[in-house]
Amino acid sequence: MKLSGSTVLVTGANRGIGRHFAAVLRERGARKVYATARRPEEIDLPGVEALALDITDPDAVAAVVRVAGDVDVLINNAGIGGTEGLVAGDLGEIRRQFDTHFFGTLGMVRAFAPVLAANGGGAIVNMLSVLSWQAVTSAGGYAAAKAAQRSLTDNVRLELAGQGTLVSGVYLGATDTDMMAGWDIPKNDPAEVVRIVLDGIETDQFEIVVDEASAAVHAGLSGDVRSRYPELG
């Protein structure tokens, strides 16, 4: 997959990693970049086409497809944070996590898969999380939704292989964005995250593991549950 000369749509491009994607893609030679957000007026990047999009709204998704029929790379970056536990947390907030990360991503994939097929196959990039692989009680709703999004990524990769669409999942830990502003912990540089992801797309990687923390969690998945969660005793 070559990004130079491509047409790319980035969701959640008004801030954070999404904004970095939109900016760097132009530098990497993308012919056109559609930068989407619920409030497109917040997108102030030169050289991109800002579009209104709430990925949880099927009518809004359909409207964007009508405009962006030339897309050959879809970057599903839009997401929300959350600190809801699954047992006692607010069920409405947990549903919102799934509506955004699972059903929102799935809606975008379903809408753009025919577009990508018509344009030669292209690529879909789903921004996942280290929590796709790891449970955490302080954000159980978010982690569960990201785990579902990871499974979605694996399944649509198989379903779209026949039309030549590369489907990549990106795994990363805490990154220095507005969503993580209140956390005093080591964080990835979003510009470096974007560089790693775009390099991964151009080398046809199915799974792009951005940082050492994510790589360590992935490596430990084959271990005993107690080794992964020492708090179980």
Residue type, 55: I
* Other beta carbons less than 10 A from residue 217's beta carbon: 18
229 is catalytic: no
Among residues 34, 142, 171, 229, the one annotated as catalytic is 142
Q: Which 3-state string (H, E, C) describes the chain?
A: CCCCCCEEEECCCCCHHHHHHHHHHHHCCCCEEEEEECCHHHCCCCCCEEEECCCCCHHHHHHHHHHCCCCCEEEECCCCCCCCCCCCCCHHHHHHHHHHHHHHHHHHHHHHHHHHHHCCCCEEEEECCHHHCCCCHHHHHHHHHHHHHHHHHHHHHHHHHHHCCEEEEEECCCECCHHHCCCCCCCECHHHHHHHHHHHHHCCCCEEECCHHHHHHHHHHHCCHHHHCHHHC
Count of beta carbons in the 10 Å neighbourhood of residue 219: 10
The residues carrying an active-site annotation are 142
